[in-house]
Structure 1
Amino acid sequence: MTDLNDAALLRYSRHIMLPEIDIEGQQRLAAARVLVIGAGGLGSPVALYLASAGVGHITLADDDVVELSNLQRQVVHDMASLGQNKAESARARMLALNPDIAVRALGERLDAQRLLQEAGLHDLLLDCSDNFTTRHAVNRASVAAGVPLVSGAAVRFAGQLAVFDPRVAGSPCYHCLFAEEGEASDGPCATFGVLSPLVGVIGSLQAVEAVKLLAGRAPVLGRLTLYDALSGEFRQMKFSRDPDCPVCAVR
């Protein structure tokens, strides 16, 4: 594991005080490699909290550039970021927050082959994208590479969160929960709109699950968390693996 110097012990002292994390958990975080798909609304709090939590190696993948309409919710960027690639902009903000971590920016849309290649280099995937096509592609890479996945989504006033771990025999994948057919209603917030703090809520929950998992806590699988920002209510529903799932049924 990665040793922590005096400055790191001070920086992460509030983590180390937690018996569920302690020094060993913080060392695990420092040694961890995480791939974040999307540096927009969900990716913003994920990127900032993973950086501040001391995750040692973070890769951000996003081929988009920062536009003025993004600043309503994508808090990792600012006015000086306009026109910049989102992954590069987020990287600069993360390193300003914590220069002791390594952040790699991929200013590209990862196809299936590249997703699988990158997934195999990391300990955890975080899907912070805004469309089902990408979510399913990330899920296939997660299953094929045997790397856990924290998936989040937010649109209008509704958000959702789930954790998947193909290393656990019999556990479901994203496709078990959402089939690829009949999902044309899903789309980016440019089409449907989104409440700005909602992506902060869901992205922060993704970061919570990521930090717990990387620190050595076993994830809760087969559970979808739903948040309705209008009512302020959280609901949870259980789901199981689809025995006929074309992605994870044979693994």
Structure 2
Amino acid sequence: MWDTTKDYRILVANKARENYLNLIPTASFRGNWNKKLAIETGKQMNSDFQSLLYCYLEGDDLVNSPDVASLTEKAETIVECLGGEGWTKSFLNAAPKEDREKTTENIAKVRFFIDTVLGLKDRLALGPINDPIIGIDIRVGEIMSVTKHPKADSLMICNVNLGKRAITVVTNDLNVKEGYHVGVSLLPPQTFMDTVSEGMFLGMGGSILKEVDGELGQMPKGIPMESLNETRNLVEAYLE
């Protein structure tokens, strides 16, 4: 029996929603957006998550349940409240210079919440997997540029193409190069000395995997299970 009360996908998405509701009232995003409805819609998701946690559904019945459909619809509504498809660029462009770093961090956190909810149906479709890595998306990316972190000699800043969008990943692998085909865990954003990292590269033995198999933006294929250990630990820590 599929125990949804312990399903990492549902737990992570709901945790992201809670963090979103704590953040969005004070995010100080500038521009024309519907803050009131963005908050209210996030609150309304609670009943959907509670139904999923105690639904006793399995397989296609769970994946195609009204609650999953409702969460997807509400996440799409929040995107519209924020300003539509280009909401991230709009908020960043409207931010004063002195607020850009904080705005970038807040945008990344809100985007993680939205992406986690919008990807919930696809992750649930993978079946009853009891592993923390299933709680987040793991995608194939291509490193487009690499620069040294301006405030830390032991860190590199990478611009990573995921197909439909690009993200920033901060890594401590000093040998990372442009053109690497990498696996990226899309984790809750973390800030490393004023630079926001939206994910973590899969790696082994202190080095990232540089020739990951799979299409850009899709799940990687044939990756060693050992390369997922740190992702597991971080997902568990996020839920604590």
TM > 0.5 fold call: no
TM-score category by the smaller chain? Answer: under 0.3
TM-score where L is the length of structure 2: 0.27
